[in-house]
Chains A and B, each alone.
Chain A
Amino acid sequence: MKLPPMLRQLLHRRIVLAAAVVLLVIAVLAIGAPWFASIDPNDTAVLQRLKAPSSEHPMGTDELGRDVYARIVHGARYSLSIAALTALGSVIAGTLLGLVAGFFRPLDAPLMRVVDAMMSLPDFLLAIALVAILGPSLVNVVLALVLVYTPRVARVVRASTLVVRELLFVEAVRALGVRTSRILWRHILPNLLSPILVQVSFIFAYAILAEAGLSFLGVGVPPEMPTWGTMVAGGQQYAHQAFWVVLFPGLAIIFTALSLQMLGDGVRDLLDPKLKKTL
């Protein structure tokens, strides 16, 4: 199998390779959840409650006797989908906003003031307020998180747009009479791909953490939905007698978020060698 040179270079770095492998394993587990965890994640067995990890239940059972491993694997579907949709949504919205603000000067100041205003509200506080207003459901959690992270992307994309629009080739295509929409789409956007890609992986990681936090507070997805956050929330009262109900979902969150950030870091170093020496 031949990989594109960039991807090969990226995977050449051991840390990035390790992160990619971890993410791949988690993604495969999530997609094939019914095959990798044959026990129903919602099967309660009161007599089996809070059992320590054993060969039958590799990560033990929770307060209702449900298999923790099965819930983590099935929960990955929800946690990862929420985070992926959040990253996708905020990157699309943020890129549009940033492009417009960076390219059309009269719109810059007003749009950026709105972005400033949104960013002056702490991420998590804004997310809680939004979910409370929209109502707790999977779709609304995604919507709220998209609104929270869009300004962040917009700021990054605007800054890069400001640089790219002054480059000579943009002036050249403009002189050739190319339509503005085509300049934005074909000439400016491709040059913004690296910062956007970095944002995708970081927002993915933040969204995993934010969803878990929202669900933990009881303002996220409905509590019966097995996400990693609801699992920790449900298990917290039992942590002193059965540490595994809290430990394993927490580790799932940490491994995923850490791998995503390492990947983002690797991409940034590779695509932007100038940044390597600083951040």
Chain B
Amino acid sequence: MRKFLLSKALGMLAVLAIVALMVFVLTRAASGDPISVLLGEQATAEDIARVQKVYGLDKPLPVQFGYWLRQVVQGNLGDSIFLQRPVTQALRERAEPTTLLALMAVAIAAALGIPCGIVSAVFRGRWIDQLFTGVAMLGASIPSFWLGLVLIQIFAVSFGWFPVSGYGAPDAALAERVHALVLPAAVLGLLNSALIIRFTRASMLDVLGEDYVRTARSKGLAESTVVLKHALRNALVPIVTVVGLTVALMIGGAVVTETVFGLPGVGNLVVSAVLRRDYPVIQGALLVVAAIYVLINFSIDLLYAVVDPRVKVG
């Protein structure tokens, strides 16, 4: 077990290190220069050199990377060039809407996807299975911004049930903020339930063919007991995996939805940083999102090993 843990942890660190290197190289390969954007066209060469020195941009690239990596390990992601504050602070300020949105959306996606997937598996090949499979594929084909615009049009503009955009005042009560997140969470939840339907269906079909399910049936147990107790419990690990990964993907993948609904989240921060070539923010955000993804993945691996002892051998 210890060996398994160690190898998994080392693999995770290796992936994180590669991510860090890639993110660094990517942002430095950019064609635009943030300093000239910041200072405007009137800036002289001396001005530019002086500001470059302040941000350490005059050093050779490997030195910049080493310096940056040391800071990152210490929890310092540098300062934003435009926001005049540390990147970690900027990320913290934007974390709440994105996290809340991701959690609400996953709740919706799981509440829709798991039951639909179970029904699909139980009635494999029948019309209801074809309907859910078709709906899942449709969900994976609708652009999130389009669904967002349609829902805004219907539920915010026509019915007036939700705000058209934004996240309430900074001091608004939690209930108000959650209320503002209902539509965007519905968009993300609906679209992401597609993946959960497919995984639940596949995982349930695998299990429903097992001998112990046949045994349970032959004992004369009610079909609902067989499906929900004997089969679902054993099918749950892959389902939990996909739900976990959906959370991770949403934290970084909600960019478009946040933009459509004008939410001040991490995605929005990244888009504005990208448009202004604010390297430290882009680097920091990509790194944090990747780290969350890798950590969730790692926890899922551990979960697998705890639940299913065969994993360690393989």
Interface residues of A (CB under 8 A from B): 113-114, 116-118, 120-126, 128-130, 132-135, 205, 209, 212-213, 216-219, 229, 232-233, 236, 239-240, 243, 246, 250, 253-254, 257-258, 261-262, 265, 277-279
How far does the alpha carbon of A116 sit from the alpha carbon of B201 in the complex, in Å? Answer: 26
Q: Is the interface of A mostly helix, strand, loop or mixed?
A: helix
Q: Provide 7 A-B residue pairs closer than 8 Å at the C-beta atoms, listed in order of the A residue.
A: A122-B293, A133-B26, A232-B149, A233-B145, A239-B149, A246-B146, A254-B142
- State which of A117, A216, A253 has its C-beta within 8 Å of the C-beta of B18: A117
Whether A265 lies near B146 (C-beta < 8 A) is: no
Question: Of B38-46, B180-188, B251-259, which stretch is located at the interface?
Answer: B251-259
Whether B138 lies near A258 (C-beta < 8 A) is: yes
CB distance from B1 to the nearest CB of A (A): 22
Known: A133-B27, A253-B146. 14 other contacts (CB 8 A): A117-B15, A121-B289, A122-B248, A122-B252, A122-B289, A125-B285, A126-B286, A128-B274, A130-B26, A132-B30, A217-B271, A243-B153, A250-B149, A261-B141
One digit per residue, 1 when the CB lies within 8 angstroms of any chain A CB and 0 when it does not, for chain B 271-309 equals: 100110100001001100110011001000000000000
How far does the alpha carbon of A129 sit from the alpha carbon of B283 in the complex, in Å? Answer: 9
Those 5 A-B pairs whose CB atoms lie nearest each other, nearest first: A122-B252, A257-B141, A117-B18, A132-B274, A250-B146
- State which of A125, A130, A132, A240 has its C-beta within 8 Å of the C-beta of B252: A125
Whether B289 lies near A125 (C-beta < 8 A) is: yes
Whether B143 lies near A128 (C-beta < 8 A) is: no
CB distance from B68 to the nearest CB of A (A): 16
Whether B202 lies near A261 (C-beta < 8 A) is: no
Whether A128 lies near B18 (C-beta < 8 A) is: no
Whether B205 lies near A277 (C-beta < 8 A) is: yes
Asked, given contacts A129-B286, A217-B255, whether A120 binds B297 with beta carbons under 8 Å apart, the answer is: yes
Residues of A within 8 A of B145 (CB): 212-213, 216, 232-233, 236
How far does the alpha carbon of A117 sit from the alpha carbon of B20 in the complex, in Å? Answer: 9
Residues of A within 8 A of B193 (CB): none
Whether A258 lies near B137 (C-beta < 8 A) is: yes
Asked whether B31 is an interface residue with its Cβ less than 8 Å from the other chain, the reply is yes
How far does the alpha carbon of A209 sit from the alpha carbon of B137 in the complex, in Å? Answer: 13
Q: Select from chain A the residue with minimum beta-carbon distance to B285.
A: A125
Residues of B within 8 A of A253 (CB): 141, 143, 146
How far does the alpha carbon of A116 sit from the alpha carbon of B235 in the complex, in Å? Answer: 25
